[in-house]
Amino acid sequence: MKKSFILFDFDGVIADSFQLAFEVQKMVCPHLTEDIYRKRLEGNINDWENPINIHTKECRHDIDFFTEYIPRMKNEVQIVPEMKEIITELEKNYTLIVVSSTITSPIQEFLEKHDLASHFTQIMGNDIHKSKVEKIKMVFEKHDISSNNCVFITDTLGDMVKLRTQALEQLVLLGASRSRKLYLRASLFGLLKSLQTF
């Protein structure tokens, strides 16, 4: 069994899903702007009661995000450029797991569509636990590893802050810029080289 693990966030890292997710959230809260939505990503996207998540009378809480999102995701969300190559290369030497706030089944379908499902040992979506911290702890326990054996690839500041404040300081976090200016080539192709000693 491979001793080192690479955990992938899904949205924004594997799937280029920001625009669709924003559009669906805007169906729920029409006043939502891209800036406010991006700020939501600085915390756990599930924490709707946080001060940043201001709701108005126009918000439609009868609309279920995933009910609207999943059917459109199948046709509208594309894989992040070059990610298939990166995953295929990393899987040769590391155990890969998805840790995401999207529910597991559409992630599985997306990976199957792009011939990537077989590269991942496990997919841990929002239906497993709403906290990425808790899901990562489950990975550690199941595989008898620690943060010393693990890299988590994410594109959200919220993930970085949350993980660092939950006694997972040694977990390596590689931020992928949503602006794409400093995206995959800088962060992830650099990872392929730097992980030779991992």
Q: What is the mean pLDDT of the chain?
A: 78
d(CA 172, CA 151): 5
Continuous segment of H or E residues that includes residue 151: strand 150-154
pLDDT of res. 182: 39
pLDDT of res. 160: 62
The residue among 112 and 65 whose pLDDT is bigger is: 112
Answer yes or no: are the C-beta atoms of 107 and 10 closer than 8 Å. Answer: yes
Q: pLDDT by residue (tens digit) across 93-102? A: 899 999 998 9
In the structure encoding, which two tokens stand for residue 195, read together? Answer: 């992980």
Provide CB contacts within 8 A for 79, sequence distance 6+.
14, 15, 16, 110, 114
pLDDT of res. 190: 52
Domain borders along the chain are: 5-16+78-197, 18-75
What integer is the mean pLDDT of 169-193?
A: 47
Continuous segment of H or E residues that includes residue 74: helix 65-76
Residue 123 pLDDT > 50, yes or no?
A: yes
Residue 72 pLDDT > 90, yes or no?
A: yes
Confidence of residue 152 (pLDDT cuts 50, 70, 90): confident
What integer is the mean pLDDT of 17-34?
A: 89
Residue 184 pLDDT > 90, yes or no?
A: no
With 0.85 as the threshold, say if the pTM is over it: no
Residue 189 pLDDT > 60, yes or no?
A: no
Residue 145 pLDDT > 70, yes or no?
A: yes
Give the least confident one: 91-100, 109-118, 129-138, 178-187. Answer: 178-187
d(CA 164, CA 178): 20
What integer is the mean pLDDT of 103-130?
A: 95
Q: pLDDT by residue (tens digit) across 45-57? A: 555 444 445 667 7
The fold adopted by the segment(s) 5-16+78-197 is Rossmann fold (3.40.50)
